[in-house]
Amino acid sequence: MSINISLKRTAFKPITISKAIALLGLPLCFMANGHDMLPAKVQTQPILFTNATVHTVTNGVMQDSDVLIADGKVIAVAQDIDAASAGITSTTPQKTDYSELLDNAQVVDASGKHLYPGLIALDTTMGLVEVEMMRPSNDAYEVGFINPQLEAISAFNPDSEIIPTVRVNGITHAQVVPQGDGLAGQSALVAMDSWTIEDALVASNKQFHLYWPHVRWLSKDADKRKEQLADLDRRVEHVFNAFADGQRYLLAKQAGKINKIDLRWQALAPLYEGNGQLFIHAQSQQQIEQAIALAKQYSFNIVIVGGYDAWRVADALAEVNAKVIYNQTLALPKRKDEPIDLAFKIPALLKQAQVPFAIGFSSDWNSRNLPFAAGQSVAYGLTKQEALQSITLDAAKVLDIDDMGAIAPGFKANIILATGDILDPMQAGIESIYIDGRKIDLNNRHQQLYQKYLKR
């Protein structure tokens, strides 16, 4: 049995003798917790889906249409690809001849079925947490207030038992996010079917995560409340001072005046240079306004994660071209005097306010409910197309990725084949999922236990 120990820091961190003994003393049943579903092989044969209802996202819903994929990409989407290819003449040079691909293609009859783009789960701890209540299996959190050098991907477990149980609901990719206080580290986008971390990783710009300071519960005692607010002011000041230190370090480096390398500020450099995004976890209007002030000061590209009050400050967000990951779709109101269904309506309010947003579901195993959270927003103001787009194309745009989240030529062949509406848990009926054109195994621990107890 091999034991994979991932370091969560970019710099080498020695393991103490006591920690090594503790690791070796863990129960073998806990350490050997990888799932037994084999990752799919690279696509080698073109696949033609025929007669499907295609939810393209970029071009509406196409009835009785074909989709051709090859080499992990969508090649063509048309009502009859074979006929379109055969109809090439000297007067229609803009058409493309797909005859060679079609001759070798595996044909999947999707009559009466639906094709959707793969879903992208934002703000998850996928592969970082195995059992929430067991600290040794939780690698999502690190101590310290300023840790921009930490990379969540280094602790990602591609063999997590949770991954197959989540992707069966249509989630093909997940953003793996570090948790913590202050500047917690960097996230990454991963595919939900891989042998190794390197296989899973999807190339993207740097993604830094800042948890904006807040007070969870204000005390009713006046002296205690005053103390809490003073501490909050100190933590906010700490955030601004940290970014000032980072900027000074970068300027000193550019001037050749660095005497000692600081991994924190070195890691943060792409953010000041415009090659990264700062994901600021903030819910209240005050937090979001403070985050916008920070973005203005350094011209940062920011994404507000949470965004409960983002619709209230739409104009301010537009000034800094901010985007939002809204993660409260199935939550209760945050204030006693708010309507009971306000959290459900906020995606529609963001849409009305023209705030670019995507719907996220901040969890590990529970992120499998992402499509149903999007479906909830349909009952409260979004159209089905807008809700689907919020967890596909818009989610990709939040990460500055331009070839995922739609079924269109040139996009990655991340495709869901279903018998019904994937936003509805009662009729989704997902039959097959393809990641980069690879048909993945939909078996998982839940199904294995279900089959086991059927035989009881």
202-222 residue pLDDT tens: 999 999 999 999 998 899 999
Q: Which residue, chain included where needed, has tokens 């500055």? A: 400
Superfamily of domain covering 33-118+405-456: Urease, subunit C, domain 1 (2.30.40.10)
One-letter amino acid at 383 equals T
Spatial contact of 356 and 323, defined as CB atoms under 8 Å apart: yes
Q: What is the pLDDT of residue 335?
A: 92
Over the stretch 389-402, which tens digit does the pLDDT of each residue have?
A: 999 999 999 999 99
Q: What is the pLDDT of residue 31?
A: 42
Cα gap 208→266, rounded to integer Å: 13
**Which residues, 6 or more positions from 101, have their beta carbon under 8 angstroms from its beta carbon?**
46, 68, 70, 75
Burial class (CB in 10 A: 0-12, 13-18, 19+), 178: buried
Q: Is 299 helix (H, G, I), strand (E, B) or coil?
A: coil
Lowest mean pLDDT among 82-91, 105-114, 133-142, 254-263: 82-91
Q: What does pTM read for this prediction?
A: 0.89
28 or 116, higher pLDDT: 116
pLDDT band at 86 (very low <50, low <70, confident <90, very high): low
Spatial contact of 351 and 151, defined as CB atoms under 8 Å apart: no
pLDDT (mean) for 362-384: 94
- Residue of 266, 228, 227 whose CA lies nearest to 146: 266
Flag whether pLDDT at 93 surpasses 70: no
Supply the DSSP symbol for 127.
T
Spatial contact of 171 and 16, defined as CB atoms under 8 Å apart: no
Cα gap 357→306, rounded to integer Å: 11
327-344: buried (b, 16+ CB within 10 Å) or exposed (e) per residue? bbbeeeeeeeeeeeebbb
Share of the chain above pLDDT 90, in %: 80
Could you tell me the CA-to-CA distances from 139 to 119, 142, 174, 318, 352 in Å, in that order?
24, 8, 16, 35, 38
Q: Which span out of 96-105, 138-147, 210-219, 319-328 was modeled with the highest average pLDDT?
A: 319-328
Over the stretch 263-299, which tens digit does the pLDDT of each residue have?
A: 999 999 999 999 999 999 999 999 999 999 999 999 9
- On whether the 119-402 domain is CATH 3.30.450.40, my answer is no
Over the stretch 244-258, which tens digit does the pLDDT of each residue have?
A: 999 999 999 999 998
One-letter amino acid at 167 equals R
E strands, 204-290, are 206-211, 276-282
Q: What is the pLDDT of residue 450?
A: 86
One-letter amino acid at 373 equals A
Q: What is the pLDDT of residue 5?
A: 38
Flag whether pLDDT at 23 surpasses 60: no
Q: What is the pLDDT of residue 241?
A: 97
Q: Which residue, chain included where needed, has tokens 């992208």? A: 120
Domain ranges of the chain: 33-118+405-456, 119-402
121 or 38, higher pLDDT: 121
Flag whether pLDDT at 4 surpasses 60: no
pLDDT band at 85 (very low <50, low <70, confident <90, very high): low
Cα gap 176→162, rounded to integer Å: 13
Crossing angle (nearest 10°) for helices 263-272 and 222-254: 80
231 or 3, higher pLDDT: 231
Q: What is the pLDDT of residue 83?
A: 64
Over the stretch 141-199, which tens digit does the pLDDT of each residue have?
A: 888 999 999 999 999 999 999 999 999 999 999 999 999 999 999 999 999 999 999 99
What mean pLDDT value characterizes the chain?
89
